[in-house]
Amino acid sequence: MTQLALVIDLNVCVGCQACVTSCKEWNTAGSAGPMVDQNPYGADPTGTFFNRVQTFEVGEFPNTETVHFPKSCLHCEDPPCVPVCPTGASYKRKEDGIVLVDYDKCIGCKYCSWACPYGARELDEQQQVMKKCTLCVDRIYDTSMTEDDRKPSCVKACPTSARLFGDIHDPQSAVSIAIRESGGYALMPEWGTHPANHYLPRRKTRIKIHEDELERADNPLKVDRQLPRPAMSEPTLDDVTTW
């Protein structure tokens, strides 16, 4: 069984919002569209988005870190939004695990949005149906595109390659390897929704330098103390200084 998903690397996301705009651009023109904005140039603009990038500050000054956090539908393996739908408009595809909404069946009761703890679903104010990330289902299977282009629009747009796309049930896929080897985690695990999308944590590269790496403890010439121990201020190349 296939479960397509995004893996988002918080270590490299720079919060540029390119995925947000390219998502909106592709999907407003695609089968999920239009994603019309209301009052776009007024005081209180609003509109439908499938993807947002949020920013959090972790820690207290001066030890703070800014974390940019892209958020879209997580295509849960056990999606709580699907069973509550009274019409069956909300469904999870067996063949690839994508959670979709049938816009012709949706009655706009908003119940599925209540049942999603992540706030991944938005009611389109113009079409009055529930909309959400489709993982660019109208793109990833489009054989008229080159193989390289058959990826979600947000993945293609990311300038830092913070977004990976693939099958998390295939242990050899790039996304599975990333989750396995780089500490991929799911959001709000307490609800048992088993989100397919995973996040890779912030990582710091640190090296631990031991004393004996600065000064060779096992220098054969010093083992029996035949030569005077050089002072720390002297050049450290034993072979040069102690001869």
Partner 1 sequence: MHPAFSVIFLTTLIGAAQGLFLALFTVQSYAAFKLLPQPDAHAFYGQGSLLALVLLVAGLGASFLHLGHPERAWRSAAMWRTSWLSREVIVLPAFMGVVFLYGLAHWMDWHPLLMALPGGLPVDPTAILGVAGTLLAFALFICTAMIYACLKFLGEWHSPLTVINYILLGGASGFTLAAAFAAVTAPELVSFLGGWAAIITLLGLVSRSASLYRNARLKPKSTLQTAIGIKHPRIVQNTQGFMGGSFNTREFFHGQPVAVLRGVKWFFIVAVFPVPLLLLLSGMQGGAAVLAVAFVVQYAGLLAERWFFFAQANHPQNLYYQSIA
Contact residues: partner 1, CB under 8 A? 17, 20, 39, 44-49, 52-60, 66-67, 69, 71, 80, 82-89, 105-111, 113-119, 121-123, 125, 127-129, 185-191, 199, 201-202
Between 80 and 230, name the residue whose CB sits nearer to partner 1.
80
Could you tell me the CA-to-CA distances from 130 to 32, 105, 112, 118, 144 in Å, in that order?
A: 10, 10, 8, 15, 29
Between 116 and 137, name the residue whose CB sits nearer to partner 1.
116
Beta bridge partners of 131: 122
3-state class (DSSP) for residue 55: strand
Residue 186 near residue 195, CB atoms below 8 Å: yes
Residue among 3, 148, 136, 157 nearest 72 (CA): 136
The least distance separating partner 1 from the CB of residue 48, rounded to whole angstroms, comes to 7
Burial class of residue 165 (count of CB atoms within 10 Å of its CB; 0-12, 13-18, 19+): buried
The least distance separating partner 1 from the CB of residue 243, rounded to whole angstroms, comes to 53
The least distance separating partner 1 from the CB of residue 32, rounded to whole angstroms, comes to 15
The least distance separating partner 1 from the CB of residue 79, rounded to whole angstroms, comes to 12
The least distance separating partner 1 from the CB of residue 2, rounded to whole angstroms, comes to 23
Could you tell me the CA-to-CA distances from 1 to 85, 107, 167, 171, 229 in Å, in that order?
A: 24, 30, 9, 12, 67
What is the C-alpha separation between 83 and 137, in angstroms, rounded? 21
Between 129 and 238, name the residue whose CB sits nearer to partner 1.
129
The least distance separating partner 1 from the CB of residue 14, rounded to whole angstroms, comes to 14
CA dihedral for 179, 185, 190, 191, sign (positive or negative): negative
Between 52 and 216, name the residue whose CB sits nearer to partner 1.
52
Between 4 and 89, name the residue whose CB sits nearer to partner 1.
89
Between 129 and 177, name the residue whose CB sits nearer to partner 1.
129
Buried b (16+ CB within 10 A) or exposed e, 44-54: eeebbbbbebe
Between 28 and 113, name the residue whose CB sits nearer to partner 1.
113
The least distance separating partner 1 from the CB of residue 40, rounded to whole angstroms, comes to 9
63 Cβ partners below 8 Å, 6+ apart? Answer: none
